[in-house]
Amino acid sequence: MRNYDDRKRVLVTGGAGFLGSHLIDRLLERGDEVVCADNLFTGTKRNIDHLHGHPRFEFLRHDITFPLYIEVDQIYNLACPASPIHYQHDPVQTTKTSVHGAINMLGLAKRLKVRIFQASTSEVYGDPSVHPQTEGYWGNVNPVGLRSCYDEGKRCAETLFFDYHRQHGLDIRVARIFNTYGPRMHPNDGRVVSNFIVQALRGEDITLYGDGRQTRSFCYVDDLVEGFLRFMDLGDDHRPGFTGPINLGNPGEFTIRELAEKVLDITGSRSRLVFRPLPADDPMQRRPDISLAREHLDWQPTVALDEGLRRTVAYFDALLSGRNN
């Protein structure tokens, strides 16, 4: 727990979302004050209900495509729909959230002269021709496809962050997040882990796209948040910190079919596997090279997929049965 002199007032945009709410819990646990800004498009108050009345927590309903005037010591910019179903619902707004939102948060950081973290994504690599993906790989992204509102929006946000760093000397941190899962995922976000678990618990067919041989790497949320905190704490000893971009994810690689079979085993479900056509621009393989995270942050994931899935299944089981409401 931080003492009063070390306590920071931290802004987390998108703080009512899956990742943001877990990050806020950790910040509060270590003694910081937290302001959560979220427009609740994909975030939900259910994720932060347990913080109601907490003396160091404040919630602001705010859309970061509009300026925010507030006094803080650090900013984590996590606000943006992150699942295909949500970011394709209003693609223009998705791009605006990444680009206008970055401009507004960078402007705030510049005015306050504070460190700012950007939650970027492995989607900047597109359907990669390099495997595993290192931070030096420039990507293979379709700039006019259905996913480009998210892919290119996040790429442009990275551009803005590094231009603010070069032009204004802003203290930035840019993390490229690979597939992450855990409690508080949205049950209808269309992401593969939540899809499979919800379908299995309901006894519905489990939907695989393509032949199920495409691969992903799955990082449990607690591991990811630990990476966030270590990254942002670099430079607190008044030496220049590492800006990134840096990959944060679990380098363990599994086929989508393997994931489905693990979910069936953990839930005990008798759901059938059914196959559907692969969506446009869906990458065939995705796996992070985390050499930089190991070197600069002394970080690597510790939660195995089976253990993380058990915790996530328990959360969704309670949610679907009404015990989490």
Output the six-digit token pair for 292. Answer: 């930089």
**What's the chain look like in SS3?**
CCCHHHCCEEEEECCCCHHHHHHHHHHHHCCCEEEEEECCCCCCHHHCHHHCCCCCEEEEECCCCCCCCCCCCEEEECCCCCCHHHHCCCHHHHHHHHHHHHHHHHHHHHHHCCEEEEEEEHHHHECCCCCCECCCCCCECCCCCCCHHHHHHHHHHHHHHHHHHHHHCCCEEEEEECCEECCCCCCCCCCHHHHHHHHHHHCCCEEEECCCCCEECCEEHHHHHHHHHHHHHCCCCCCCCCCCCEEECCCCCEEHHHHHHHHHHHHCCCCCEEEECCCCCCCCCCCECCHHHHHHHCCCCCCCHHHHHHHHHHHHHHHHCCCCC
Asked whether the beta carbons of 174 and 118 are under 8 A apart, the reply is yes
Burial class (CB in 10 A: 0-12, 13-18, 19+), 291: middle
Output the six-digit token pair for 220. Answer: 């449990």
**How far is it, in rounded angstroms, from Cα 316 to Cα 298?**
32
Integer-rounded Cα Rg, in Å, for the chain is: 19
Known catalytic residue at 315: no
Output the six-digit token pair for 34. Answer: 């937290």
Of 150, 164, 181, 220, catalytic: 150
Supply the residues annotated as catalytic. 150
